[in-house]
C-alpha cells in the first residue's frame, strides 16, 4: 500500500482564518492525505495568509523559508487575504508553487492536481473579489475545548484604513439552519465552547438573491443568537467581535439573559475622537460607543469589554490622541488591542495628508498599551475572592492547566488531566506575577 501524501498547515491572522484552515485540512484528510504538524516534514505546506498587519509580506516569507527547511522538495501553497490582494508579489517569493485567492482556496485539491500535471510550474489562481458571492462554511476542530465557527464573511463598511473588503468581498452569510447543524456537529465532537467568527458578524443575514444576483437581508444577528442558544452540548458561545452600532439594545438584553452566550464583548472603537472617526469612515461617533459600554455594564456589571484602537491614523494630532486617551481612560472597559496605523495601498487613508511619524505612532501605541494593562488589572481585581465557572484546558506550561471564566478572566492552576475540557467552579484567590488568576477548585460535584 502506497504511503499517503502528507500536508501541513500554518495560519496567520484571525480566528476566521483558523476556522477556514481547519475546514480545508478536513478536505485533505477526507481525500486520504496524512495531516502533519507544521514542524514536521511534509509533501505540501499550506499557508493561510493575513493582510491586517504591515508584516504580512515578512511573515509569508518567513513561513515559506521554514517549510522549505523542513522539506526542501515540498510544494508550497499560499492562500487567503494577502494572496488575494497581492498574488503576483507572493508568487515571486522563492519556493512558492501555488497562490490561491478568496474564491479558490476551498477548491485547493483541484489546483494541486494541476500542479502535479504541470511538473511543478507555479500557478496563480485569483479572481476579481467582486465576482465572489458564495459562502464557504467552516469551523475549526483540533482543540477539543473550543471551536471557531464561521457565520459571516466579507464586509460592506469600507472603512478608510481597511483592505478586508478588497480581500474578502461583499458581506454574506451562511443560513441559520446550516450554522445550527454545524454547532451540533461541534458539540458531537466534544467541544464545550463555540466562538462565532466572521469579518463583520453583527451584519449577519445577507444572502444573494438567486434571481437578481443582488444581496439582500433575510434575517439578522439576534435571530442567529436565539437559534444557537438552544444547541444541546454547547456550554458557551462567545462573540469574537461586533461593531458598536450593530450591538443594539436587543442584542445586549438577550446576551444578559442567555443560557450560553457569555458576557464578553469586543467592540472596535479605533478612535475616541469624532474628527478621526469621520475621517476613518466609521459608522458611529464616540457618544454612541460610550452609550453601548454603559448599556452593557448596566445589564451585566461583570461583563468583559475589549476595545480595538488605532494610533497614528493620518491627521491625528497630539490633541486628537489625548482626547482618545482620556475617552478610553474614562470608559469602563477591560482591555485594549492597540494597532499602529500602517499604510495600505488602494485605501482612502493611504492618500490622506497629515502622516504621523513612525516614532510618534510607536510612542502612542506604548501609552495605550500601558493603559490597557492598567485596565485589565483593575478589571481582574474586582473578582478576587469570587467563585466563577472555568472551562479547563491544557497549558503550554508543564504541570499546569489554564482556563477562562465566562467573562474572560484567565485562570492558571496545577494540572489535573481529568478536568481538561470540563466546566467547574473555581474560587479566584489572587492574581499571579503574569497577571492571571490563581484559584482553588471547588467541590467536583458541580463539574460538567
CA dihedral 313, 319, 321, 322 (to 10 degrees): 180
Q: Crossing angle, helix 15-30 and helix 108-117, to 10 degrees? A: 60
pLDDT band at 445 (very low <50, low <70, confident <90, very high): very low
Residue 105 is part of a domain; what is its CATH number? 3.40.50.12160
Q: Quick check: 254 and 261 in contact, CB under 8 A?
A: yes
Q: Which of 314, 316, 324, 308 is nearest to 348 (CA)?
A: 314
pLDDT of residue 444: 54
Q: Are residues 146 and 100 in the same domain?
A: no
Q: Are residues 183 and 221 in the same domain?
A: yes
Annotate 288-325 with DSSP letters as a single string.
Answer: HHHHHHHHHHHH-TT-EEEEEEEES-TT--HHHHHHHH
What is the spatial distance between Cα 129 and Cα 284, in angstroms, rounded to a whole number? 27
Q: What is the pLDDT of residues 174-230, one digit of tens each?
A: 999 999 999 999 999 999 999 999 999 999 999 887 777 788 888 999 999 999 998
CA angle 326, 330, 332 (to 5 degrees): 140
Pick 80 or 122 by higher pLDDT: 80
Q: Quick check: 202 and 151 in contact, CB under 8 A?
A: no
DSSP secondary structure letter of residue 53: S
Does some domain include residue 76? yes
Instruction: Name the domain boundary from 262, 287, 311.
Output: 262
Residue 421 is part of a domain; what is its CATH number? 2.40.50
Q: Are residues 156 and 114 in the same domain?
A: no
pLDDT of residue 211: 75
Does some domain include residue 394? yes
Does some domain include residue 46? yes
pLDDT band at 1 (very low <50, low <70, confident <90, very high): very low
pLDDT of residue 325: 98
346 CB contacts (<8 Å, ≥6 apart)?
163, 166
Beta bridge mates, 402: 393, 412
Q: Are residues 113 and 164 in the same domain?
A: no
Cell numbers at 207, concatenated: 444572502
Q: Quick check: 311 and 283 in contact, CB under 8 A?
A: no
pLDDT of residue 212: 78
Whether the per-residue pLDDT at 99 is higher than 50: the answer is yes
Residue 250 is part of a domain; what is its CATH number? 3.30.750.210
Neighbour-count burial of 212, counting CB atoms closer than 10 A to its CB (0-12 exposed, 13-18 middle, 19+ buried): exposed
What spatial distance separates the first Cα and last Cα of the chain, rounded to whole Å? Answer: 44
- Name the residue range of residue 60's domain: 6-127
Does some domain include residue 52? yes
Q: Which sign does the torsion angle of CA 197, 201, 205, 211 carry? A: negative
Q: How many CB atoms lie within 10 A of CB 113?
A: 10
CA dihedral 95, 97, 102, 108 (to 10 degrees): -130
Q: Which sign does the torsion angle of CA 23, 139, 166, 76 carry? A: negative
Instruction: Name the domain boundary from 210, 227, 262.
Output: 262
Does some domain include residue 223? yes
Q: Are residues 122 and 191 in the same domain?
A: no
Q: Which of 202, 203, 183 is nearest to 192 (CA)?
A: 183
- Total residues found in the chain within this entry: 448
Instruction: Name the domain boundary from 241, 262, 283.
Output: 262
What is the spatial distance between Cα 24 and Cα 105, in angstroms, rounded to a whole number? 8
Q: What is the pLDDT of residues 293-328, one digit of tens each?
A: 999 999 999 999 999 999 999 999 999 999 999 999
pLDDT of residue 114: 78
Neighbour-count burial of 347, counting CB atoms closer than 10 A to its CB (0-12 exposed, 13-18 middle, 19+ buried): middle
Q: Are residues 65 and 118 in the same domain?
A: yes
Q: How many CB atoms lie within 10 A of CB 227?
A: 15
Question: HSE (CB half, 13 Å, CA atoms) of 98?
Answer: 26
User: What's the total number of domains in the chain?
Assistant: 3
Q: Are residues 104 and 141 in the same domain?
A: no
pLDDT of residue 92: 87
Q: Are residues 71 and 158 in the same domain?
A: no
pLDDT band at 354 (very low <50, low <70, confident <90, very high): very high
Q: What is the pLDDT of residues 395-440, one digit of tens each?
A: 988 999 999 999 999 999 999 999 999 999 999 999 999 999 999 9
Q: Quick check: 421 and 192 in contact, CB under 8 A?
A: yes
pLDDT of residue 53: 63
Segment 52-64 mean pLDDT: 79
What is the spatial distance between Cα 217 and Cα 205, in angstroms, rounded to a whole number? 5
Q: Are residues 104 and 53 in the same domain?
A: yes
Does some domain include residue 57? yes
Q: Are residues 104 and 158 in the same domain?
A: no
Question: No. of H helices and E strands in the chain?
Answer: 13, 21
Q: Are residues 102 and 139 in the same domain?
A: no
Does some domain include residue 85? yes
Does some domain include residue 18? yes
Q: What's the mean per-residue pLDDT of the chain?
A: 92
- Residue pointed to by grid coordinates 485594549: 336
What is the spatial distance between Cα 104 and Cα 111, in angstroms, rounded to a whole number? 9
Q: Are residues 153 and 246 in the same domain?
A: yes
Q: Which of 421, 428, 410, 426 is nearest to 448 (CA)?
A: 421
Mapped onto helix, strand or coil, the DSSP state of residue 430 is: strand
Instruction: Kindly give the pairing relationship between strand 236-239 and strand 172-173.
Output: unpaired
Q: Quick check: 27 and 112 in contact, CB under 8 A?
A: no
pLDDT of residue 51: 80
pLDDT of residue 448: 44
Q: What is the pTM of this model?
A: 0.92
Amino acid at each position: 500500500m502506497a504511503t499517503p501524501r502528507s500536508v501541513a498547515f500554518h495560519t496567520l491572522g484571525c480566528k476566521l482564518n483558523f476556522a477556514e484552515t481547519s475546514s480545508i485540512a478536513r478536505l485533505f484528510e477526507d481525500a486520504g492525505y496524512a495531516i502533519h504538524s507544521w514542524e514536521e516534514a511534509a509533501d505540501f505546506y499550506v499557508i493561510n495568509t493575513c493582510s491586517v498587519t504591515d508584516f504580512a509580506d515578512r511573515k509569508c516569507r518567513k513561513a515559506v523559508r521554514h517549510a522549505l527547511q523542513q522539506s526542501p522538495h515540498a510544494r508550497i501553497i499560499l492562500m487567503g487575504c494577502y494572496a488575494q490582494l497581492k498574488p503576483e508579489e507572493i508568487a515571486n517569493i522563492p519556493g512558492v508553487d501555488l497562490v490561491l485567492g478568496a474564491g479558490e482556496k476551498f477548491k485547493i485539491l483541484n489546483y494541486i492536481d494541476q500542479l502535479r500535471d504541470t511538473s511543478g510550474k507555479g500557478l496563480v489562481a485569483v479572481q476579481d473579489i467582486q465576482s465572489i458571492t458564495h459562502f464557504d462554511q467552516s469551523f475549526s476542530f483540533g482543540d477539543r475545548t473550543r471551536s471557531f465557527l464561521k457565520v459571516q464573511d466579507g464586509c460592506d463598511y469600507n472603512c478608510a484604513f481597511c483592505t478586508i473588503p478588497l480581500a474578502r468581498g461583499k458581506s454574506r452569510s451562511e443560513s441559520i439552519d446550516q450554522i445550527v447543524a454545524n454547532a451540533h456537529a461541534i458539540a458531537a465532537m466534544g467541544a464545550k465552547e463555540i466562538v462565532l467568527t466572521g469579518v463583520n458578524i453583527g451584519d449577519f443575514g445577507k444572502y444573494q438573491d438567486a434571481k437578481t444576483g443582488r444581496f439582500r437581508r433575510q434575517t439578522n444577528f439576534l435571530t442567529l443568537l436565539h437559534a444557537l442558544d438552544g444547541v444541546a452540548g454547547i456550554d458557551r458561545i462567545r462573540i469574537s467581535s461586533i461593531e458598536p452600532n450593530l450591538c443594539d439594545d436587543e442584542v445586549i438584553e438577550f446576551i444578559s439573559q442567555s443560557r450560553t452566550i457569555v458576557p464578553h464583548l469586543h467592540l472596535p472603537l479605533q478612535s475616541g475622537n469624532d474628527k478621526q472617526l469621520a475621517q476613518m469612515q466609521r459608522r458611529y461617533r464616540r457618544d454612541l460607543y460610550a452609550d453601548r459600554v454603559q448599556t452593557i455594564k448596566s445589564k451585566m456589571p461583570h461583563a468583559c469589554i475589549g476595545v480595538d484602537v488605532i494610533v497614528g491614523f493620518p491627521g491625528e494630532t497630539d490633541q486628537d490622541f489625548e482626547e482618545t486617551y482620556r475617552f478610553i481612560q474614562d470608559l469602563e472597559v477591560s482591555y485594549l488591542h492597540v494597532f499602529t496605523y500602517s499604510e495600505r495601498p488602494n485605501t482612502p487613508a493611504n492618500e490622506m495628508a497629515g502622516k504621523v511619524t513612525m516614532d510618534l505612532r510607536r510612542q502612542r501605541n506604548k501609552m495605550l498599551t500601558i493603559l490597557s494593562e492598567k485596565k485589565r488589572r483593575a478589571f481582574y481585581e474586582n473578582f478576587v475572592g469570587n467563585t466563577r465557572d472555568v472551562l479547563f484546558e491544557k497549558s503550554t506550561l508543564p504541570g499546569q492547566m489554564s482556563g477562562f471564566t465566562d467573562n474572560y478572566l484567565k485562570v492558571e492552576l496545577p494540572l489535573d488531566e481529568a478536568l481538561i475540557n470540563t466546566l467547574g467552579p473555581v474560587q479566584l484567590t489572587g492574581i499571579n506575577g503574569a497577571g492571571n488568576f490563581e484559584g482553588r477548585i471547588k467541590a467536583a460535584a458541580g463539574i460538567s
